[in-house]
Structure 1
């Protein structure tokens, strides 16, 4: 198994797949690299890097005091080990705090930032309670229970559920406790304007208690796009991985050149275009989407939570992928798109 020795001799477990733009995935507390099992197919389009943070999964543990900055430093050491000059950081949930800290601390090593269910501070009641529950669980060393809860919430397949549950049980309770406490107090909102890489925010359309955070990012970060995944709650990378992966592919295509992206050539033979169809009864815009001059869908509404995509023609799997990628590609900067 591949390990990087960081900060002396502490082993950090990692996996690397594919070539191209490096995207390093950062998991939430307790969950480990297994969280991003469903992102493996992205290796056809970019270099997928997953790892277990210190005190998690197959990585070594530590008695060193945990801080968000320390965990960002671990990522820097991993990139150095892999001889990667710059990478896109993908932070899921509280893993997004570490991703933000890395981009803010090491802008010269950052190529892009994707936050899935991300936030720059904890300022909502439900999110605050979620952190308190994590702190209490870590205090009680209730990793068996936590493993069952997280695996049930994130996994549909039996094997995936067992794999994630097993990974959670390996977590060092002391490290987990510190990650939750430091995550609860972490606040980088006042520094967001320093982020100068393309930022993509991915939210489940039903993950209501984190939606308001997008406003903080949109106000501060110039290069920001927001994507909502229909019918999804918080567990987008695991429960809605098809949509999540398509969105990431679209982000790569939009911002980075020289990446192996088969959909670039597909669009030349399956061209899409849009045409305004007026407004909805409540005054929001609507538009039609055509493929090879054939109407395939109508999109109604501006607000992503109320936006409706009405199919007008049945598409095969490849065409449906192209259709969703087209919608991602036409989403305006600082705009919204409902996947």
Structure 2
């Protein structure tokens, strides 16, 4: 679909309440493949953000604000006025920006393993990742990133799961170019969502792993406090990769948001 001169690759599946899925930094719609067949009834919209997957890769335009504008433009092109947003990590920042620009178009919000405002530790981590992305083969880059994003218990419980994911990432051809990833990382560093969600009045959940070292529970608590009525859920023993470590949790939270939307008649 053409969005301001940029072609975005997308897929739309199912019927019911529209739900837009926003992937993590450098990710594509494939970040949600393990959830797709188990989603609660809804109209799922999954897409590759500009710069990744099968979407166009312009030289610039990778701010969080532009990503938010792309998200709304995609929904406009599909004839969708209202939607539930699901954002993971960087996708959670994009979801906040979308809600901040068009709160009237929000039906619900699910934020997973994401952040509210800059933090010195996370900022340094993202800067290091941006440098490593420029220097390392993709497969080795994600092996290093996963040491931060997955809880140690997952390596003990199911190392094969991690290896399958890493093998898939190493083979995938949709990774952003180095210069594009650098701009995405800079956008993550610059994002500050304080004040964006204060006027939001929709069913909302904020999920975080109890062992998340990238966006720890304290940061998730700050974020949840910005959304009136939002429920914070800390999942013990899980890390920043919560959506892959324990997919039942985000699926349950999404079902709750969708049920609340239906009850409220939004």
TM over 0.5: yes
Residue 212 of structure 2 is matched in structure 1 by 207
Residue 114 of structure 1 is matched in structure 2 by 110
**Is 1:100 the equivalent of 2:106?**
no
- 1:21–1:123 CA distance, 2 compared to 1 (3 A): same
Residue 44 of structure 2 is matched in structure 1 by 48
Find the aligned partners of 1:41 and 1:68 in 2 and give their Cα distance: 29
Structure index of larger Rg: 1
Alignment gaps of 5+ in structure 2: 151-159
Query: TM-score, structure 2 length as denominator?
Result: 0.85
Match of residue 216, structure 1, among 200, 218, 222: 222
1:146 is paired with a residue whose SS is: helix
1:59 deviates by 1.1
- 1:167–1:212 CA distance, 2 compared to 1 (3 A): same
- 1:32–1:195 CA distance, 2 compared to 1 (3 A): same
Residue 63 of structure 2 is matched in structure 1 by 67
- 1:197–1:165 CA distance, 2 compared to 1 (3 A): farther
- 1:167–1:75 CA distance, 2 compared to 1 (3 A): farther
Alignment gaps of 5+ in structure 1: 260-339
Match of residue 240, structure 1, among 237, 246, 252: 246
Find the aligned partners of 1:141 and 1:86 in 2 and give their Cα distance: 41
Match of residue 259, structure 2, among 239, 248, 253: 253
**Is 1:57 the equivalent of 2:53?**
yes
Residue 326 of structure 1 is matched in structure 2 by none
User: Is the 2:65–2:94 contact (alpha carbons within 8 Å) kept by the matching residues of 1?
Assistant: yes
**Is 1:133 the equivalent of 2:128?**
yes
The alignment's C-alpha RMSD in Å is 2.5
2:51 is paired with a residue whose SS is: coil
1:156 is paired with a residue whose SS is: helix
Query: TM-score, structure 1 length as denominator?
Result: 0.68
Find the aligned partners of 1:226 and 1:97 in 2 and give their Cα distance: 16
Residue 192 of structure 2 is matched in structure 1 by 187
2:86 is paired with a residue whose SS is: strand
- 1:220–1:43 CA distance, 2 compared to 1 (3 A): closer
1:31 deviates by 2.2
- Comparing both chains, which one has the higher relative contact order based on Cα–Cα distances under 8 Å and sequence gaps of 6 or more? 2
1:167 deviates by 3.4
**Is 1:14 the equivalent of 2:40?**
no
**Is 1:225 the equivalent of 2:231?**
yes
Q: How many residues align?
A: 254
Find the aligned partners of 2:264 and 2:85 in 1 and give their Cα distance: 19
Residue 182 of structure 2 is matched in structure 1 by 177
1:231 deviates by 1.9
- 1:222–1:135 CA distance, 2 compared to 1 (3 A): same
1:146 deviates by 2.4
Residue 79 of structure 1 is matched in structure 2 by 75
Find the aligned partners of 2:94 and 2:102 in 1 and give their Cα distance: 12
More strand by share: 1
**Is 1:30 the equivalent of 2:26?**
yes
Find the aligned partners of 2:222 and 2:40 in 1 and give their Cα distance: 33
- 1:81–1:150 CA distance, 2 compared to 1 (3 A): farther
User: Is the 1:92–1:118 contact (alpha carbons within 8 Å) kept by the matching residues of 2?
Assistant: yes
Find the aligned partners of 1:176 and 1:31 in 2 and give their Cα distance: 10
Find the aligned partners of 1:144 and 1:231 in 2 and give their Cα distance: 26
- 1:53–1:248 CA distance, 2 compared to 1 (3 A): same
